[in-house]
């Protein structure tokens, strides 16, 4: 019995160590819209100043996006991994019901928000946030 208790305590401690909150900061953003002629996101605006912090909770159930003027929550509905690109794609729903995909790679230069499926594809866009710093606790 004592061994079982010790084993369970070790399992709980190991999971607690692995589950960490991830923080991603950025000073800029760039929006790119779908170009139906070229069939890619190429209609991009200039890189603009936009301080942001994305926080992924330890349980990977929610992202919180914080800026100077707002704070939004995005609930994670699914997660897939692409070994080819070494990226995770999170299917999320915002706190006001909008659906997005958040794309993040282990060594990625950008945190990407993808919004597709609009009635008119010219309204589909990606928003790139160059990663200033990424850390966990």
Q: Please count the other Cβ atoms lying within 10 Å of the Cβ belonging to residue 65.
A: 19
Looking at residue 121, its pLDDT comes to: 83
Please write the tens of the pLDDT for every residue from 14-31: 444 467 999 999 999 999
Taking the model in full, what pTM does it have? 0.83
Work out whether the CA dihedral 63, 72, 136, 59 comes out positive or negative. negative
8 Å CB contact between 90 and 79: yes
Please write the tens of the pLDDT for every residue from 52-95: 999 999 999 999 999 999 999 999 999 999 999 999 999 999 99
């Amino acid at each position: 019995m004592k061994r079982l208790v010790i084993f369970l305590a070790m399992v709980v401690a190991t999971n607690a160590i692995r589950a960490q909150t991830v923080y991603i900061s950025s000073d800029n953003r760039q929006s790119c819209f779908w170009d139906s002629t070229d069939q890619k996101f190429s209609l991009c605006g200039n890189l603009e100043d936009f301080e942001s912090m994305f926080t992924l909770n330890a349980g990977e159930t929610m992202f919180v996006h914080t800026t100077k003027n707002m704070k939004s929550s995005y609930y994670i509905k699914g997660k897939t991994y692409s070994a080819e690109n070494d990226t995770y794609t999170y299917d999320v729903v915002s706190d006001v019901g909008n659906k997005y995909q958040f794309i993040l790679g282990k060594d990625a230069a950008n945190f990407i928000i993808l919004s597709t499926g609009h009635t008119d594809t010219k309204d589909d866009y990606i928003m790139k946030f160059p990663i200033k710093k990424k850390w966990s606790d």
